[in-house]
Every structure is written in structure tokens, then in C-alpha cells.
Structure 1
Amino acid sequence: MYPVDLPAAEDTDLTSAAEQYISSLESRPHNNKWFELPQASKVAITANNIRHLQLFEDDQPGCAVAALHSPDDPTQVVALYLYDKWWSVDDILRTSNKSRSGLLLVQSIVERVILFLLSQVVERSAQEKVQFSLHPRTESCKLLWRDGQAVGFYTVKHKGSLCDSWSSRCYLLSVLDTMLVRSSWRRRGLGLQMLEDFCSWFSTEEFLGVSSPLSPSMVSVCRRFLQQHEEHRERLYEVEAPGGWTQRRNVWLNIQLGHYLHGSSEQQIKACDPNQGRSSPSSTMSGTRSSPAVHADDLDPGPPARPPQCQTQNKMRNSNPLCTGPHCEGSQRQRGSRDAKRARRLNHVVLVRHEDVV
């Protein structure tokens, strides 16, 4: 059995176990043990080769696990201390439960550890920086299981949930925030499967979001999905938090207009958003990346008639009233319909060349 198959543990148990184990090592510094790696090499289990890894963003109280790393590279995690023993990263990502298959909602603390490994460790080389910000403890996530191993995930910001821990702004629609497919499992349509699952999960919501800016891989996924599912062309938007109408761009419309070629979407956001760089963005390797938080006074209650230019957007932000509550839903729905109609009128435009789907 693997850690995810063992009886559920509490996050406090992981933290206390890590602290106790490291204390025991410090009390016997010359009685080293070794952890054997699959490549027939081994790493000494010493206090100098172990560090605490924080699992969640802005976590109070903190939840951390003990990680064993190579003595030459403290960023290279080779094992975690769980259930009173060391487990290799590969084993933590596995399951012996055959019923654990497909996309499953993350519920246990060990599943959160798996999400952490996928987003922070597994797809990272020694030369690369971390691709994702830490995910909040309360964020909804689904892990994708195939052939007894975790091969990907996606996370969601729910409509009405707080955008951050330092303001009272809430998301105005549910947003697919981050997505990852492990490199060895790409080109199999798994990104498409996760996007389909996201849209089905929130089937009763009129509009859905995908965090801005979209990576080229995510553009490919969205293009193929919307080619196959015309009913979603009017409801899927690229959004910046918290998702006001000046912070939404209809994905199908922008694909039709070719705005995702050569990274033009990301460049447009950087040029038009005066808040770029004010907060640490979450990012993905095969999906979307969350844009920096947009302040409440930048919200606009009505959608632009066309993809906004910087000057026009700034004027709208300065002149239109703030709309963050449920009383604005009726007017937003009408404006969303106008934006959707514009997308329908452009359905005859020839599509740009299809890229490979993750």
C-alpha cells in the first residue's frame, strides 16, 4: 500500500511527526541511516539533508512535512516522511486502490501532499524555478488518476470565494485557476478531459472562467473543446480576478480573432493592467496562469463591445461604478448576452491552425 491508501491522517500529525523526527536526528548526529533511490544511489538521512516544506499558501497554523533532499541540491526532493517512514516521491504519487481512477476531488491531507508534489516538485528540473504558487488550503482541487498514479490536477476558485487573504473581494464567477498534466502523459487529451469535467461540474452557472493569461497549451485545449462543444462558446471567459466584465474576454471570440497567436494575449494584459506585478501569480506548465490581483476600484460592471484597448479600458475603469454584489447579476447577464452574440456572429471566421493538445 502507498500513503494515499493508508487511513486518513490529520495535518497536525504530519507536522508534529516531522518535528519529532528531525529532533531525534539532531540528538544522534553521528548515527546516520541511508535512503536508497531507484537508480541504485543513496542519500544520507541527516539533519543537514532534511528541511521542512510548507504545504499551503498563507497557512495559519502552518502545515509542513519533512523532506529529504540531495546534499548537493536542497531543491531536489527525493523523499517525504509520512506515516513514520520515508517514502520516495514516485511512491507517494501511486495508489494500490484500483477504484481510484479518473478525476477525483481532493479530500485527504495526503492528497494535498500529492497536489503539492505535482505543482512544486515533480515537473521541476534543477535549473527551473517553481512553476506554481502554493495553493490555499481551502481551494477545491481534483487529481487525475491513471494506471495507479496521479498524472495531473486542476484547481478551482469558486464563485463567491475570497480572491485573497487581505481584502474582501470575491470571485464573481467560478474560475479554473491552474492545471497541470505530467510531461510523460501529455498529448493524450487529458487537458481536454479536465476542461470538460470543469464545465460539467458547474453546469448550472451561466458563465465560467479560465485564469488569465492562457498559456499556448491551454489555448489549444480551449480551442478543441469549443470546437466540439458549441454550447459552451458563450459561457467560457478568460478572466482576471475577481472577474468583473472589464476583466473578462470571451475565449471563443479571442480564438476567432487570432488574439492568442504569438503570446499576444499575455502582452495585451501586461500592457493594459496597471496592477501587473503587485502580487505573486500562480502559474501552470500545461494550462493557465493566474494573473495578478486586480484591485476593487478597477472593476467595471459592463463588458466591452470589443477586446479592450488600454486607453479605452482605463477610461471605463475611471468612470463606471463598482459592482461586486448579487444585485448586479441581472445587468451583467444582459451584457454577457451581447458579448456572446458577438462571438456567434464571428463563428464563420476561419480558425487558426490547431495545436497539439496536452
Structure 2
Amino acid sequence: MAMYPVDLPAVDDTELTSASENYLASLNAAQSCNEWFRSLLTSKEIAVTPANIRQLQLFEDEHPACTVLALHPPHDQTQVLALYLHKKWWPLDDVLQTSSESRRGLQPVQSVMERLIVFLLSQVVERPRSHGEVRFSLHPPTETCKVLWEDGQAVGFYTIKHKGRLCDSWSSRCYLLPVLDTVLVRRRCRRRGFGLQILHDFCSSFSSEEFLGVSSPLSSDMVAVIRKFLLQHEEHQARLYEVEAPGEWTQRRNIWLNIQLGRYASEQPRPAVLTPPSPCNSSAPLMPTSAQLCDVNQEDRSPSSERSGKGCCSSERTDILGIKAPSRPQRLKESLKWKEAPLRKPRRESPKEMPKRPKRARRTSINE
């Protein structure tokens, strides 16, 4: 059975960094190139020289350095062909694979190699293709992550900001609810239900929490996935909020309610249509009721981290003042319900007022 880097004996960030530095030093000391790597992607041999190697930093600047060496073509430093791990060069696709039968579905990230996989998915494999997409920021080494494994390959991941955790390193603000911070599914693996699987896992992991957050702003793809999820799981419609750190009530917007109101670009408002009762439709027509929800206007932002696959990211900005938080959040559950509209009793004309009409065949109209 083939073994991959994630299946080999675990190494820590210090060992990974020192191995990279020692190997790079040996290449700089060599007089000539004695090593070549044949790329399956380009079907060409690449010389393993310092000119074709760059160091990738896995974590944010304020954390201890953890680097890995990446081999790239001479003409494109942004492309990664292989990584130097366990004293050899591994093709990029091999680093994202596993031979372990236990790695199925969503699994917590526990080792440095698993964090390397999260880094590769967010920074290398799924790079933004268009100018409008935002790049992910580096995740800290203590970030709670889960990798989604399917058929021996890493196909996605998501990260969580836990309730009570510091929002940043320069203030004392803490998250007031669990927040789904980053979601990514590889482009070639989308439209297979993995986004719904991630949302279900996130909500199930915090079953005792009354409210859950998803980092703002939401991409159109993320809104579509959440809408489908909430249609299937109505019990979560009053739980999921789009939030900005740290998640005060003035920084929350109920996602389901805003979908119904058409406040997302991908969703259009759904006007109520009154259907008169008929023999095939004896139920009373339904009308939506108005709801009270504190809503912060969405302004142009410069998010610090991408949530494109997912479509979520945390962004810091000045909150708009003068908006009062609801004193009783539980009213939202009532506002998401529907009330029966009163039926207007038809006015019957008196015999004197009724004009004489010619008799004709009686027709029945049925609205479905």
C-alpha cells in the first residue's frame, strides 16, 4: 500500500522548518545541480536548484515560523509542483492524499501535516481565478479545523471560531457565539453535497448552543448552500446568523429571514400570493408577518481573509450607530412563523341590484 506524507510518522513545526533550512543550505553549497524532478503536470523535468525553490510560510506572522520548501517551474513562482517532506520531493497531489482507512468524511486537524493540507487547499490549490475573489489569510496553528476526506483525497475543510475565544491579538474582545469562519470545497468536487455536509456537521457539533454564526460577508454560493440546508433542516432557521466579530446583537443578521426578504444578491424577495379557496384547496391563504430584526447596513469592506469557496470571511469595520439590539431575541422564532390571513366575506348583491344576465354553463376555476 502506498504511503503519503500525512500517513508517515508525525513531525512538529520545528522539525519541518529545520529540515527545510538544512536542505536549502546544502543546495546553496553545491557547485552544480545533481537532482531533477519530473513533473506529471508538465511532463517535464525540473532542475532542483535554489532558483526553482521558494519557502512557504504556513502560519501568521505573529506565530513561530513554520516553513516548507516548494518546487516551482522556472517561469512561474506561484505554481507548486512538489514539496520537500520527509527528506524527499512529493508531487502536490500526493501530499493531499491518504492511505488511511480512518480518514473518511470530516476529521479534526491534529498534526502539522494535516495543517499543511489546510494551507495547501486555501493558499495553493484553490487560488482565486478572478479579480473579484478574495484570498484567504493564513490560519493560526491553534485554529480549530476539520478536513473533508473523500476516496482518499482531501476535498475541503472548514474552520471554527469558538465562543469565548479572542477575536484578535490586539484587543480583549471575545466571540459571543460559535462562528463558522472559513469554508472551502475544491472546485472539481462541488455540487456533490459536501457544503451541506459541512453545515450539518457544524450545527451538530454545537447542538446545545441556541445561536450559531457564519462569518460575514456571505458569498452568493454560500447563500445558496445555506438556503438549501435550511430548507432541509427547518429547526436551524432561527439559529444561523451572519455575524461580524465579536457577534453582538447589532452585528447579527438572521440568514433565513434575510433570504426571505431578498437581502442577498442571489436571492429575490418572494411576494405573497393570495389563493382563493376552492374545492381542491380548502386551506386558508398564507401571508408573511413582519419581523423585528436589528440590521446593520452592509458597506464596502476589505476583508482580512477569504471565504470564497465557502464564501465567508471575518471583517473589521466601524458599526453603524443608532441601532438598538432586540431585548428579546426569542421573538425571531415567532417572526419566522406564518399567520393565516383573514378571509374577506364576499358581498352578495340583493335581488334588486342584480342585473339580468343570459344563462350560460357554470365553470369552476382551480388555483394550484
Band of TM-score, shorter chain: 0.7 to 0.9
> 2:116 is matched with which residue?
113
* Aligned-partner SS, 1:210: strand
Residue equivalent to 1:269: 298
8 Å CA contact retained: 2:222, 2:312? no
Counterpart for residue 4 of structure 2 = 2
Cα shift at 1:36: 0.9
Does the alignment pair 1:133 with 2:137?
yes
- Correspondence for 2:280: none
Q: Secondary structure at the match of 1:270?
A: coil
Deviation at 1:101, TM superposition (A): 0.6
In structure 2, the residue matched to 1:201 is: 205
Cα separation, partners in 2 of 1:63 and 1:27, compared to 1, 3 Å: same
- How many Å separate the matches in 1 of 2:52 and 2:110? 30
Describe the superposition over 1:60-111 as per-residue Cα deviations: whole angstroms up to 9, x where unpaired: 3211111111111111111111111111110000001122110000000000
Structure 2 residue 322 is matched with structure 1 residue 315: yes
Residues 250 and 343 of structure 1 are in contact (CA less than 8 Å); yes or no, is this contact kept in structure 2?
A: no
Trace 1:15-34 onto structure 2 (pairs within 5 A).
Answer: 15-34=17-36
Structure 1 residue identity aligned to 2:202: F
Aligned partners of 2:217 and 2:316: how far apart in 1? 12
Judge which range, 127-136 or 177-186, deviates more: 127-136
Deviation readout 1:153-180 (Å, 9 max, x if unpaired):
0111101111111111111100001111
Distance 1:284-1:29 versus aligned 2 partners, 3 A rule: farther
Correspondence 1:214-229 to 2 at 5 A: 214-229=218-233
Output the CA distance in 1 between the equivalents of 2:220 and 2:60: 27
Q: Distance in 1 between matches of 2:101 and 2:31?
A: 42
Counterparts in 2 of 1:268 and 1:42: CA distance versus 1, 3 Å:
farther
- Alignment correspondent of 2:335: 342
Report which stretch shifted further, 102-111 or 32-41.
Answer: 32-41
Matching residue's letter, 2:217? P
**Is 1:42 aligned with 2:62?**
no
1: CA distance, partners of 2:11 / 2:169: 26
> 1:22 and 1:341, CA in 2 relative to 1: closer, same or farther beyond 3 A?
same
Q: Report the residue type matching 2:321 in the other structure.
A: N
CA spacing shift, 1:250–1:29, aligned 2, 3 Å: farther
Please name the residue that 1:181 is paired with: 185
* Identity in percent: 59
- Identify if the C-alpha distance between structure 1 residues 73 and 82 changes in structure 2 by more than 3 Å, giving closer, same or farther: same
Deviations 1:30-69 (A, max 9, x none): 1341111114212211111111111012343211111111
**Separation (CA, whole Å) in 2 of partners of 1:255 and 1:126:** 27
CA distance in 2, matches of 1:192, 1:44: 43
Call closer, same or farther: CA 1:224–1:127 in 2, change over 3 Å.
closer
Give the match's secondary structure for 2:137.
Answer: coil
Runs of 4 or more consecutive aligned structure 1 residues displaced over 3 Å after TM superposition: 125-130, 345-348
Decide whether the 8 Å contact of 2:63 with 2:140 is kept in 1: no
Contact 2:33 2:48 in 1 (8 A): no
How does the TM-score come out when normalised to structure 2?
0.79
Superposed CA deviations along residues 312-338 of structure 1, whole A, max 9, x for unmatched, are x42238xx8xxxxxxxxxxx8x63212
C-alpha distance in 2, partners of 1:87/1:105? 24
Shift of 1:127: 7.4
1:52, 1:65 within 8 Å by CA — same for their partners in 2?
A: yes
| 2-structure distance, mates of 1:181, 1:141 | 14
TM-score by length of 1: 0.81
Q: d(CA) in 2 for partners of 1:238 and 1:132?
A: 19
**Which residue identity does 1:142 align to in structure 2?**
K
Root mean square deviation of aligned Cα: 2.4
> Which consecutive unaligned segments of at least 5 residues does structure 1 have?
299-312, 321-331, 349-358
Give distance in 1, aligned partners of 2:161 and 2:83: 28
CA contact (8 A) 1:78 1:89 kept: yes
Give 1 or 2 for the bigger CA radius of gyration: 2
Alignment of 1:50-65 (within 5 A): 50-65=53-68
1:94 to 93, 97, 119: 97
Tell me if structure 2 keeps the 8 A contact 1:2–1:92: yes
Q: Which residue of 2 aligns with 1:104?
A: 107
Letter matched to residue 125 of structure 2: V
- Measure how far apart 1:183 and its partner are: 0.8
TM-superposed deviation, 1:9: 0.7
Aligned partner of 2:359 in structure 1 is none
Structure 2 unaligned residues grouped into runs of 5+: 269-295, 342-368
In structure 2, how many angstroms separate the alpha carbons of the residues matched to 1:98 and 1:347?
A: 53
Aligned pairs, number = 310
Residue 258 of structure 1: CA displacement? 0.9
